[in-house]
Structure 1
Amino acid sequence: MANVDETNQTKFPNQYQTWLATSEQADKEDMLAAYPANIILWAGSSFAKEYNSPRGHQFAVADVTHILRTGVSVEEGKKGLSASCWTCKTPDAPRLMNEMGIEGFSGANFTDLGTEIKSVVYCSDCHEDGSAKLALPRPHAQDAMAKIKLPFDKQNTSMQGAQVCGQCHVTYYFQPERSDKVNIPWIFGSTADDIEKYYDTRRFYEWIHPISKTPMLKARHPEFEHWSRSKHAEAGVTCITCHMPPATDDKGNEFTDHKVGNALEHFDNTCKACHSSQQAISKTLAKKKQQINTKARQVEDLLVKAHFEAKAAWDAGATWPLMNDAIMGIRHGQWRWDFAMASHGLYAHNPEEGNALLDKAIEQVTLSRTLLAMILKQLDVEKVDYPDISTKEKAHAVIGFDKDAAEAAKVMFIKDEVDKHWHPVARQGYEN
Structure 2
Amino acid sequence: MSKSIYVAACVIAALGGVGLFALNTNIAEHKGESKTQPLKTFAQSDDEPDFALWGRNFPAQLDGYLQMKDEYIQTPFGGSLPYSKIIRWPAATTFWNGYAFAVDYSKPRTHYYSQIDQLETKRNNKEFLNSHGLPAFKGQPGACVNCHTGYLKAIYSSSKLQGLFLDNPVESSKKAMGFFDVQENGQMMKEAWTKMNSIPYFDVMDKVKSVYGEGIHSSHMGSTCADCHNPDDMSLRVTRPAFVNAMVLRGYEADAKHGIKGSRKEMRNYVCMQCHVEYYFEGKDSVLTFPWTKWKKDEAFKIENFDEYYDEKFANGEFPYDFINKDTKAKIIKMQHPEAEMYSSSLHYRSGVTCVDCHMPYKRDGANKVTNHNILTPYADINASCKTCHPQSEQVLKDRIAFIQNRHAYELRKCENNLLALIADIKTARAELAKLPQFANLDEKAREEAISKALDKSLYAHRKAQIRWDVAFSENSYGFHSPQEFMRIISQCKEIAREGQSTLANELAPFNVKITFTKEAKIPNAPAKLDHHYPTASLPTDEMKKVDENIKNLNFK
* Structure-2-length-normalised TM-score: 0.67
Equivalent residue in structure 1 for 2:454, among 288, 307, 322? 322
Q: After superposition, what is the alpha-carbon deviation per residue over 1:27-47, rounded to whole angstroms, capped at 9, x for unaligned?
A: 211111111110000000111
SS in 2 for 1:317: helix
TM superposition shift of 1:274: 2.9
Q: After superposition, what is the alpha-carbon deviation per residue over 1:207-246, rounded to whole angstroms, capped at 9, x for unaligned?
A: 1111101000111111111111211111110110011011
Cα distance change, pair 391–33 in 1 and its aligned pair in 2 (3 A)? same
The answer on 1:199 being equivalent to 2:314 is no
Kindly provide the amino acid, as one letter, of the partner of residue 384 in structure 2: N
Quick one: distance in 2 between partners of 1:5 and 1:33? 34
The residue number in structure 1 matching 2:194 is 103
Equivalent residue in structure 2 for 1:181, among 287, 304, 307? 287
SS in 2 for 1:348: coil
**1:226–1:346 contact (8 Å) kept in structure 2:** no
The answer on 1:41 being equivalent to 2:143 is no
Cα distance change, pair 131–5 in 1 and its aligned pair in 2 (3 A)? farther
The answer on 1:380 being equivalent to 2:519 is no
The residue number in structure 2 matching 1:421 is none
Residues 215-254 of structure 1: matches in 2 within 5 Å?
215-249=331-365, 251-254=366-369
Quick one: distance in 1 between partners of 2:235 and 2:428? 58
* 313-322 or 139-148: bigger deviation: 313-322
TM superposition shift of 1:97: 3.2
The answer on 1:83 being equivalent to 2:142 is yes
Residues 2-401 of structure 1: matches in 2 within 5 Å?
5-26=51-72, 27-72=81-126, 80-98=139-157, 99=162, 100=165, 101-115=192-206, 116=208, 117-129=219-231, 131-151=233-253, 153-177=260-284, 179-189=285-295, 190-203=301-314, 204-249=320-365, 251-277=366-392, 278-317=394-433, 319-376=451-508, 379-382=512-515, 389-393=523-527
TM superposition shift of 1:9: 2.3
Quick one: distance in 1 between partners of 2:262 and 2:194? 28
Quick one: distance in 1 between partners of 2:142 and 2:490? 33
- What is the aligned residue count? 397
Greater RCO structure (CA 8 Å; 6+ sep): 1
Q: After superposition, what is the alpha-carbon deviation per residue over 1:56-92, rounded to whole angstroms, capped at 9, x for unaligned?
A: 1111111111111111489xxx965311111101122
* 238-247 or 321-330: bigger deviation: 321-330
Q: Could you list the runs of 5+ residues in structure 2 that have no partner in the other structure?
A: 1-46, 73-80, 129-136, 166-191, 209-218, 254-258, 296-300, 315-319, 435-450, 537-557
The residue number in structure 2 matching 1:423 is none
SS in 2 for 1:134: coil
Q: Which has the larger radius of gyration?
A: 2
Quick one: distance in 1 between partners of 2:535 and 2:151? 20
Q: Could you list the runs of 5+ residues in structure 1 that have no partner in the other structure?
A: 397-402, 412-426
Runs of 4+ with deviation above 6 angstroms:
384-387, 427-430
**1:312–1:381 contact (8 Å) kept in structure 2:** no
Q: After superposition, what is the alpha-carbon deviation per residue over 1:253-292, rounded to whole angstroms, capped at 9, x for unaligned?
A: 2110000112243333332243221322221221111111
Cα distance change, pair 265–81 in 1 and its aligned pair in 2 (3 A)? closer
Q: CA RMSD in A?
A: 2.6
Percent sequence identity over matched residues? 24
Cα distance change, pair 7–153 in 1 and its aligned pair in 2 (3 A)? same
